[in-house]
Amino acid sequence: MIRLEKRPTPSKMWTYLTPIVAVLLTMIAGGLMFAALGKNPVEAIRTIFYDPLFNEQFAAYSRPQLLVKAAPLILIAIGLSLGFRAGVWNIGAEGQYIIGAVVGGGVGLAFYPSGSPLIFPLMIVAGGIGGWAWAMIPGLLRVWFNTSEILVSLLLVYVAEQILASMSLGLMRNPEGGGFPGSRNFQQWDAVANVELIPGTGMHWGVVAAFLAVIGAYVLLAKHVLGYQIRLTGAAPRAARFAGVSPSRLILTCMGISGALAGLAGLFELTGPAGQISIDFNSGYGFTAIIVAFLGRLHPVGILLAGLLMALTYIGGELAQFMLSVPAAAIQAFQGMLLFFLLAVDVLTNYRIRLARTDTKTGAA
C-alpha cells in the first residue's frame, strides 16, 4: 500500500527538484505521445528543446526569439504570482493584456505622427493603467459583492477580445491601410517603436521591464511588509486578518499589480513584435503565464526560468510543427502536460511517500 504522509516542514530539496522532475516526466510522456503520432520521439524532443538554441541552421533566428517570447510571459506571470500567493485568482490576464495594448496604443495614436520622445513613456503609463483598470473590475466586484474573481476576470477576456476586434475594425483602423482591419504599424513610427536594444539578442524594452519586475517582486516578497502580508494571507488567511491585513485592500492591490503588469506586457508587444492592433493581436500569453507562474513555484527567480523554458517550448514547438509536421494541438497538449506533472509532483514538497510494508508484517503475526 502506498501512503502519503505529511512532512513536518516542507521539503527544501523537493521545492527545487519538483520543476526538474516535472520537465523530465513531461519529456517522457510527451515522447510517448509523439511516438503514438508516428513521430520519432527523440527527434521531436530534441527539436523542441535543443534545436532552437544550438542548431546552426535555426539558432540565429530562434535564440533572440527566446527573450521576445519569454518577456511577456514573465512580466504577466510575476504579477499573477503575487495574487496567487495571496489566494487572489486573476485568470483574466489575457484580457488585461489586450486592454493595456488598446489603451496604450490609443493614447499613442492620438499623437500620431508627432516625433516627441515623451510619447512612448506616456504610452507605457497608459498601457499599465489600462490593464490595471480592467483588473479592477473583477477586483471591485469581489470586494463589493463577493463575486468570484476567477469567473469575472476570465469572462472579461472575451469582452476584451470583442473590444479589440471592434477597435481594429473601427476606431483604430489605419486610415492609410486600404480598408484592411488593424491599426497603424507602431514599428514604422520611430518615436514609439519598441526596437531591439542590443542587436541580435531580442532584447527590447519589454524584456527590460520583465527583468525589473523579477527583481522588484523578489525584493517585495523577501523584504517588504506588503510581500509579507501577501505570503501570510496565502498561508493562513485567518492569521492574516488577525495580523491586521485588510483582505479587501490586499485583493485590490494584487489584482491591480497583476493587471498593470499584463497591460504593460500588452503595450510592449504592441509597439514591438506585434506592431499593430489587429483582431488576432493576442496570442494566449495571458493564459500561458498562469502555467509559467506555477511552473516557477510562484517564486520570482523560478518564474524567470520557467518563462524561458516555456518560451523554448513555444519556439521549439513551432519548429517541430514545420520540421516534423507535428500538429499544433500536440504542442499545446505537451505544454499542458508540463503543468499537470508539476502539480502532481508538487505533492512531494509537503508529503512523503510511504510504502507501508510494516502493515503486512504485523498482519501476519
Which residues lie near other proteins (CB under 8 A)?
8-10, 223-226, 228, 231-232, 235-236, 238-244, 246, 358-359, 362-363, 365
* Beta carbon of residue 241, minimum distance to other proteins (angstroms, whole number): 5
Cβ-based nearer residue to other proteins, 110 or 222: 222
* Beta carbon of residue 292, minimum distance to other proteins (angstroms, whole number): 23
DSSP H or E stretch at residue 254: helix 247-269
Cβ-based nearer residue to other proteins, 145 or 322: 145
**Contact by Cβ (8 Å): 327, 37:** yes
> For residue 177, which phi and psi values (nearest 5 degrees)?
-95, 10
Cβ-based nearer residue to other proteins, 16 or 54: 16
Strand partners, 267: none
Cβ-based nearer residue to other proteins, 18 or 153: 18
Cβ-based nearer residue to other proteins, 12 or 200: 12
**Contact by Cβ (8 Å): 306, 77:** yes
Q: Could you identify the residue written with the cell 485568470?
A: 91
**In terms of Cα–Cα distance, which of 352, 348, 356, 361 is closest to 25?**
348
Q: Rounded distance, CA 188 to CA 307, Å? A: 28
* Beta carbon of residue 146, minimum distance to other proteins (angstroms, whole number): 13
* Beta carbon of residue 101, minimum distance to other proteins (angstroms, whole number): 32
- Structure letter (DSSP) for residue 8: S
* Beta carbon of residue 84, minimum distance to other proteins (angstroms, whole number): 15
Cβ-based nearer residue to other proteins, 325 or 358: 358
Q: Could you identify the residue written with the cell 512532512?
A: 7
Helix, coil or strand: residue 345: helix
* Beta carbon of residue 311, minimum distance to other proteins (angstroms, whole number): 31
> For residue 2, which phi and psi values (nearest 5 degrees)?
-100, 130
